A and B are shown apart, each in its own frame.
Chain A
Amino acid sequence: MSKVLVVLESGGASLTRASFEALTAAHMLGAHVTAVVLGADTAAPATAAAFCKVERVVRLEHSLLATYSADGWIAALEPLIRTEAPSFVLFPHSYQTRDFAPALAVRFGQMLVSDVVTIAEGPVFTRPVQDGRLMARCRMTGAEPGFISVQAGAFAAAVPGDVAAPITALVPELAASAIRTTASQPFRAKSVEVDLASATRIVSVGRGIQGQENLPLIEALVQALHAELAASRPVCDAGWVSADRQVGSSGQTVAPRLYLAVGISGATQHLQGMRGASCIVAINRDASAPIFEVADYGIVGDLFEVVPAITQALRSA
């Protein structure tokens, strides 16, 4: 059976949720799973991983890994991968993975099979293309190891058991000069003034609105529904709606009782921020828009006709 190395990510003292999901995916690729954690102090995340039915946990620990850098992560992981010679190296498809994993893969003559949502016999990997409007089934052609990242939310999180796997601590050979970038500590973009996370009803607007001048149409619906206004990334990038109302993996994650998506196609990064809503309504003129995949109720039509009709009906209800 195949040997799988799964590179986990810690947020603070514990593992990220996406890391537990990557552990689940790792078991689908092979029976011999080794989890890897990196940092200056990895005791807590290593222990968390050890209970997730892995064969072994490797701690790559070094003072130069106290903060993330692509150079540091690659320098620490490359020798381990060469020694372990796994068939697959797996990652959660996080911003951090996207920053270093491709440059690591290329050292093995590979690319990263990124954003994978299902793994089937073969292995055949399914990943979204065309902004989520189509799914591609793909296969690697190269020699081992294969490098794969799995989309957040696509696999169930591994549930820790009672048995702990052995933990090995390794000190990677790292020189300060090998880390060519200097990163600041992360900081908040700005104070988030609008707390969409606690909103019970959200009307969210996408590119379909075509311009800021058309926003009053949406605002009228927001008022009639006693909802909060939100928007997709392109609308915030364009400055039509303020950035602190952006929903998605780069904005806020929301879970209202009602989420009304107007003129939003449903790019993966947006869906990740609103999947948790109890009831999702999608209004879009494109019947193949991926937003309909997650919607409870869908209306294919012109938002400039449908939205005023809903507002009117609410007012007279």
Chain B
Amino acid sequence: MKIVVAIRQVPEREARLRVNAAGNAIEEEGLQFATNEPDAYALEHALALRAAEGGEVIALSVGPERTANALRDALARGADRAIHVLAGELDALGVARVLAAIVRQENADLLLAGLQSEDMGYGQTPVLAAGLLGVPHTTLALEITPAEHGLRVFRELEDGWRQSVDLPLPAVVAVQAGGLALSYATLMGIKRARTKELRTLAVEDLGLALEPALIVESLAPPARTKSTEMLQGEPEQVAAALIRKLRDEAHVL
């Protein structure tokens, strides 16, 4: 089975985010980046499928130069090779067009990706890619196992419900976080990654001219829906103040 795993690099979860001078994007200066967690799970599923079925796992990322780090990590975790499509900020449709072009080029059986990115959160790139490729797809995958005519996917529904879906290959599966345990790069893995292929190409090399479908005009912190009372001071003072307020103001103690 030839599997392409789409990996996005996003700001590290703990990073302090600042809006840029133009007011429409995150200031990247000094920002730390990490692999989008749902995509890390997608890679884990790909590695598990390869272990069961044999085949090849290709890590694919669309983004600026820094994105290569996410691909090096994927190689260290076990991907066989990587493809980096250099691009500036694209919307979900732009990324999906690139993913679809690479999947076609590679004639891959399966495209795996996280359900949602932790930065823009469009939650649709793999589904758009499935639409562009004209192949069946499913989303919110927690378990993916080879089945008689393709794959059986155990997927999450709302409110604690589950469902299994069978789909033929080629296909696209969007992965939900948490289905299996994440592995991390070992020292040996990092060493071996250095010998693996990481191919870099430009969007233009794919014959694509990408126009944005959605433009972000501005970014701002959310408006407070409640007036939050912030309690300040030493831990003991804050604790005492909180208990007083919960008892006398909120009447919940």
Contacts and interface: CB of A to CB of B under 8 A. Distances in A.
Nearest to A100: B127
A48 B54 CA distance: 52
B120 interface: yes
A294 B250 CA distance: 15
Nearest to B176: A250
Interface stretch (B58-66, B160-168, B189-197): B160-168
A308 B236 CA distance: 9
Given A94-B158, A111-B122, A133-B222, 11 more contacts: A95-B139, A111-B96, A113-B214, A114-B122, A114-B124, A136-B120, A139-B214, A188-B161, A233-B178, A281-B246, A293-B225
Contacts, number: 252
A139 B131 contact: no
B146 interface: no
B127 A99 contact: yes
Contact of A192 (B122, B160, B222, B228): B160
A282 B214 CA distance: 34
A130 B161 contact: no
A130 B250 CA distance: 31
B131 to A, nearest CB: 4
Interface stretch (B75-83, B102-110, B237-245): B237-245
B26 interface: yes
B101 to A, nearest CB: 14
A99 B138 contact: yes
Interface residues of B, number: 78
Contacts of A95: 139-140, 156-158
A299 B213 contact: no
Interface of B: 11, 13-14, 16-17, 19, 26, 91-93, 96, 115, 118-124, 127-128, 130-132, 136-140, 156-168, 176-178, 211-226, 228-232, 235-236, 238-240, 242-243, 245-246, 250, 252-253
B226 A296 contact: yes
A256 B229 CA distance: 19
5 contacts: A103-B137, A129-B119, A288-B16, A298-B230, A309-B236
Interface string A115-138: 100000000100111111111111
A110 B122 CA distance: 13
B222 A135 contact: yes
Given A102-B127, A107-B131, A298-B230, A181 B163 contact: no
